[in-house]
Amino acid sequence: MKLLLSSIFVVFFLQIANAQFPIDGQYQGIAPPSTPVMPNLGQSVLDNSVPSSIEITRVTDVYNYIDNNGDPQVWYPTHEYSKTQVWNANQTKYKIASWKVYDAITYQEEQSLSSMYPSYWSNTDADVIWSFRENGDIKKYNVSTNSTQTVANILGYEIIKLGPGEGNIDKNDHYVALVGKKENGIGSFDLDVIVFDLQTHQIVTTRNFPNGWADGADYAPKYIDWVSVSQSGDFVVIMWNHNTATDNGVDQYIENGNLHYGVEVYNSLNMQFQNRIIRYGNHGDLGYAIDGSEVLVQFYGQYGGGTLYMHKLDGSQSSIILTTNTDFGVYGHVSCRNIKRPGWAYITHSLSDQTGQMIAVKLDNSGIVEHFGHHFSSAGSYAQAAMAVASPNGDKICFKSDFGTGANNGDISYSFFATSSSPLFVEDELLTEINLYPNPTNDFIIIEGEKNINNVVIYNQIGQLVKNIEIRNKNNISINMKHLEKGIYFVRVSFEKNAIQRKIVKK
């Protein structure tokens, strides 16, 4: 009977563990609770205010260095944007900007990316990072061997960008759309959209937009906000800059008598115009609807208005998928980087006074959402905007926050992972009253608490009990971990009235 109960427990735990997403439901405008104490690197807190408890883990730290003048400097490295993937294809590693690669379990640095700016994870190979350099070099970096190969160089341009800044590779690592700045001999600059094949390392097609870069800066054309291939690679989508390429007679961009504005869709093989799916482009990302259609999910209108739209790239339909009054508006961001979980878009709002929530929205016009908690950011600067990006599986998000510590200092910001909490996770009411170290560990862990510890229980990753230690009248203990296999463990420390659980890694 005892064996049967153990088996039932393991099966039940696995079923829960496999349900990695918050519960589905209708959107709720849940105000943020009191901001928790800022967790240390690798430590977690819970957001229990939303329908499913969300575990929030800090994954970056402040970086102190000496500049070339010998002066001490402080930098807060964070992930880049809601449309730039943080995790590799199998979610075992993550990168922070184009700076460093980390182990996604231990949060330990693995490699430096100093020569790979700007960098983008491969969508198919967990060991590959692509870089599209401004001089036309296309580089392929292998993380495990720390080796870089320049696979191509595109000539004839003053500068080449992916996006710029908001473009992506298709889900099969086949096509990418780049933009090139080229002098046109009349005191201005043309813009070329270049579709490149990452499998053959050849240009597929190029589309010239005369004076399309115009007098824009090197990092951004005047008339275009961003260019990207769709997730299938079948389409190239251009979001024209709604401040300069308009349909209202103000600073219009006209190419051979054709007016360009809004969001336009082109065939990626020949860059032939297909349709204009919306007259006004806003914060959004390219993904798949539940029915398999490729879509642009974006906030609409000059002020957002709390309305989220879905536009099919074939031009057949535009629809409202979420209306939240003012909870999500002009400061919201959209991520569809969950390429292995099509049919959802991940939405964040930077302003805490408008709930400051992070949610996943089902792309089927049902209004179904999943609440991924609050970001707890002061959002006093662009650097502190949450900008949540979905993982490839869509089971977690990475977001930025200062946890209320940088309200008067917009530089303070850290990156965090948010996911449905482990079924073994206990609310960490005593976050500041316990220390557990070292983590990761090779042999022993030490637990120190301000109150006497009654019991320590250790579970492995599939919920099996591996240690159960009764303690009396001690507020510190050393536990031997040498005999345990490498991996993740959950250490539950029980006090008289409550308990704390921490995740620990055995190396």
Distance CA(328)–CA(326), nearest Å, equals 5
Residue 118: is the preceding peptide bond cis (ω within 30°)? yes
> Is pLDDT at 10 greater than 60 in this prediction?
no
The Cα 478–Cα 485 span in angstroms is 18
Check if the beta carbon of residue 121 is closer than 8 Å to that of residue 142: no
Which burial class, exposed, middle or buried, applies to 103 when counting CB atoms under 10 A from its CB (0-12, 13-18, 19+)? middle
**Which of 93-102, 133-142, 172-181, 463-472 has the weakest average pLDDT?**
463-472
Provide the H-helix boundaries in 211-296: none
Do the domain assignments include residue 469?
yes
| Residue 288 predicted with pLDDT over 90 | yes
Q: Are 45 and 418 in contact (CB under 8 A)?
A: no
Cβ-proximal residues to 257 (8 Å cutoff; 6+ apart), any chain: none
SS3 375: coil
More confident residue, 216 or 437: 437
Distance between CA atoms of 262 and 360, rounded to whole angstroms? 25
- Which residues lie across from 306 on neighbouring strands? none
Q: What is the residue type of 382? A: Y
Residues 103-107 have a mean pLDDT of: 89
Instruction: Flag whether pLDDT at 4 surpasses 60.
Output: no
458 within domain boundaries: yes
**Residue 407 belongs to some domain of the structure:** no
Classified as helix, coil or strand, 293 is coil
Report if residue 480 sits inside a domain: yes
Q: Which residues of 228-252 are buried (b: 16+ CB within 10 A; e: fewer)?
A: bbbbbbbbbbbbbbbebbbeeeeee
List the structure tokens of 272: 């032939």
Q: Does residue 416 sit within a domain? A: no
pLDDT at 263: 96
- pLDDT tens figures, 293-345: 999 999 886 555 678 899 999 999 999 998 876 677 667 899 999 999 999 99
Of 61-75, 79-93, 455-469, give the lowest mean pLDDT range: 455-469
Domain count, the chain: 1
Task: Judge whether 44 lies within some domain.
Answer: no
pLDDT of res. 338: 97
What are the two backbone dihedrals, phi and then psi, of residue 163, each rounded to the nearest 5 degrees? 115, -85
Lowest mean pLDDT among 261-275, 322-336, 416-430: 416-430
User: Looking at the domain assignment, is residue 269 inside a domain?
Assistant: no
For residues 369 and 24, is the Cβ–Cβ distance under 8 A?
A: yes
Domain with 434 in it:
427-506
pLDDT band at 5, cuts 50/70/90? very low
**pLDDT of amino acid 461:** 65
Burial, 433: exposed, middle or buried (Cβ in 10 Å; 0-12, 13-18, 19+)?
Answer: middle
What is the rounded average pLDDT of the residues 399-425?
88
**Residue predicted with more confidence, 208 or 324:** 208
Residue 433, domain CATH:
2.60.40.3080
Residue 306 inside a domain? The answer is no
